[in-house]
């Protein structure tokens, strides 16, 4: 959460992180109001879907998905529109506030959320309005895109990997907007996150 909001402030220095924290606290409190234990992991995700999509109106930014605002958490909160990765990050942050552990899943072309609390994991496609995806569905998708070692894409990614991917989106978005200065800025950030990943891999 801190890392993502620091990225926001590099371009939007007046962004008030406390407003974002309080908003996510509010969403989490609404989830707690609706929780009636005992509750299964899938039921918890359905409850999150109700609050996230139906009560607060979050959606995928199908139009103008190339706009950089879709990659900044505070802008996604303001506009209730975002990319798969920013929507997934917000979904995760609300879940963790209610003590429910979900994981970031960096599939090629579609960031998702994974739940590993049951014997067989399942996935939440936040871009598709919280649709549940089963392992066999995603395995079929990965075979279609023909990635080697594609099974690793179904496992959680690290904070650094998530931030690096967010930066790569911003590199492309600013380049498409003709803003090379900001594109180079996020290239430097992405390179730094990727160097962290290399150091961790060699540790």
Q: What are phi and psi of 132, to 5 degrees?
A: -80, 135
Q: Of 93, 92, 97, 111, which is closest to residue 161 (Cα–Cα)?
A: 111
| Cα–Cα distance, 126 to 103 (Å, whole number) | 12
In terms of Cβ atoms closer than 10 Å to its own Cβ (0-12, 13-18, 19+), residue 58 is buried
pTM for the predicted model, two decimal places: 0.94
The tens place of each residue's pLDDT in the chain, 203 residues long, gives 999 999 999 999 999 999 999 999 999 999 999 999 999 999 999 999 999 999 999 999 988 889 999 999 999 999 999 999 999 999 999 999 999 999 999 998 899 999 999 999 999 999 999 999 999 999 877 876 655 555 588 999 999 999 999 999 999 999 999 999 999 999 999 999 998 888 877 76
The per-residue pLDDT for 150 is 53
C-alpha to C-alpha distance for 7 and 13, rounded to whole angstroms: 10
Q: Which pLDDT value is given to residue 203?
A: 66
CA atoms within 13 A on the CB side of 19: 10
pLDDT per residue as tens digits for the range 77-91:
999 999 999 999 999
pLDDT of residue 84: 97
Report the percentage of the chain scoring pLDDT > 90.
84
**Residue 47 — φ and ψ, nearest 5°?**
-65, -45
The CA distance from 179 to 121, in Å, is: 41
pLDDT of 47: 98
pLDDT for the residue numbered 152 = 82
């Amino acid at each position: 959460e801190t890392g993502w909001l620091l990225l926001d402030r590099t371009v939007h220095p007046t962004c008030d992180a406390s407003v974002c924290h309080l908003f996510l606290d509010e969403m989490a409190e609404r989830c707690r109001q609706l929780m009636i234990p005992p509750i299964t992991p899938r039921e918890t995700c359905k409850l999150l879907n109700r609050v996230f999509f139906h009560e607060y109106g979050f959606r995928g930014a199908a139009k103008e998905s190339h706009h950089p605002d879709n990659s900044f958490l505070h802008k996604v909160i303001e506009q209730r529109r975002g990319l798969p990765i920013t929507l997934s990050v917000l979904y995760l942050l609300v879940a963790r506030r209610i003590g429910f552990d979900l994981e970031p899943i960096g599939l090629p072309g579609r960031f998702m959320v994974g739940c590993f609390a049951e014997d067989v994991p399942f996935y939440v496609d936040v871009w598709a309005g919280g649709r549940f995806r089963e392992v066999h569905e995603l395995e079929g998708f990965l075979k279609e895109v023909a990635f080697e070692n594609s099974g690793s894409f179904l496992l959680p990614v690290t904070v650094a990997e998530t931030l690096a991917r967010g930066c790569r989106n911003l590199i492309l978005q600013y380049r498409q907007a003709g803003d090379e200065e900001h594109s180079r800025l996020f290239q430097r950030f992405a390179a730094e996150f990727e160097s962290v990943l290399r150091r961790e891999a060699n540790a």
